[in-house]
């Protein structure tokens, strides 16, 4: 069965080995973690991997400023997002949550046109937390989430959504997202005696055999690097 599933590389060294080659094509994947855990780096690295393979990507953010993201990614990792944008391989959209809500009502709108023009196959929404706050109860959150996921599927994109919430069971991650997304990856940035250490946990991934361990990872000049032999 797994041989028939097309996989989309995460772009993260040794991460794909843990999840049978990458994310399932056209899946919606939630990357959740606290401040400084590496969510945005994970998301941009996913898009850059696509760009290297001539797979255009769209980055929708509610919080990040274009100039700062471009400067930080170029300085830290050598990812020239401005160059990719000029080449038609990268689109940066600074939206408000209300604008995304309007996209759902319109059934695609501006993003539809962008995807048609750029032929984007990868998408990031950073972060979905702000969008979810527009809805007061779990039912409306679920309805909005399903509408968004249906649009992503219609667009033919493999998506990464980031979330500032990283705890399950106490309501921190909305159940509307928890049960509807295809995968959940938790990023940790925990303080220990020697300082803070980074690790990630693949909480769930539909249609994929994955280890139930928490793996250490580093952030270096190439981005996020997972150590599949070192785990908690």
What pLDDT score does 172 carry? Answer: 44
Domains of the chain: 2-226 (3.40.50.300)
In the chain, beta strands by DSSP E? 7-8, 23-24, 28-33, 57-61, 90-94, 122-126, 158-163, 183-192, 195-205, 214-220, 223-231
Residue 181's pLDDT band (cuts 50, 70, 90): very high
Dihedral of the CA atoms 9, 10, 16, 22 (nearest 10)? -50
Of 136 and 151, which is predicted with more confidence? 151
Sheet holding 183-192, edge to edge: 90-94, 57-61, 122-126, 158-163, 28-33, 183-192, 195-205, 214-220, 223-231
Of 68 and 130, which is predicted with more confidence? 68
pLDDT in tens, 193-216: 778 899 999 999 999 999 999 999
For the entire predicted model, the pTM comes to 0.92
What pLDDT score does 176 carry? Answer: 65
120 neighbors 114 (Cβ within 8 angstroms): yes
Residue 98's pLDDT band (cuts 50, 70, 90): confident
What pLDDT score does 169 carry? Answer: 44
Q: What is the mean pLDDT of residues 168-194?
A: 75
Whether the pLDDT of residue 171 is over 50: the answer is: no
Of 111 and 158, which is predicted with more confidence? 158
Q: Provide the mean pLDDT of the chain.
A: 89
132 neighbors 177 (Cβ within 8 angstroms): yes
Whether the pLDDT of residue 60 is over 60: the answer is: yes
What pLDDT score does 175 carry? Answer: 65
């Amino acid at each position: 069965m797994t041989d028939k599933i097309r996989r989309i590389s995460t772009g993260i060294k040794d991460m794909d080995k843990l999840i049978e080659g990458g994310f399932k094509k056209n899946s919606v994947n939630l990357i959740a973690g606290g401040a400084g855990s590496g969510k945005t780096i994970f998301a941009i690295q996913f898009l850059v991997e696509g760009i290297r393979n001539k797979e255009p990507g769209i980055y929708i953010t509610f919080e990040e400023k274009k100039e700062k993201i471009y400067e930080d990614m170029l300085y830290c990792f050598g990812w020239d997002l401005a160059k990719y944008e000029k080449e038609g391989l990268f689109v940066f959209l600074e939206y408000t949550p209300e604008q995304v809500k309007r996209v759902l009502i319109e059934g695609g709108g501006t993003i539809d046109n962008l995807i048609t023009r750029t032929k984007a196959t990868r998408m990031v929404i950073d972060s979905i937390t702000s969008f979810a706050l527009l809805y007061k109860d779990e039912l409306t959150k679920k309805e909005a989430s399903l509408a968004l996921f249906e649009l992503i599927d219609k667009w033919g994109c493999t998506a990464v959504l980031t979330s500032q919430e990283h705890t399950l069971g106490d309501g921190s991650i909305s159940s509307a997202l928890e049960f509807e997304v295809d995968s959940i990856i938790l990023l940790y940035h925990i303080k220990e005696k020697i300082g803070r250490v980074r690790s990630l946990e693949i909480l769930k991934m539909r249609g994929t055999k994955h280890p139930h361990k928490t793996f250490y990872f580093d952030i270096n000049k190439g981005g996020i690097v997972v150590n599949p032999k070192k785990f908690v």
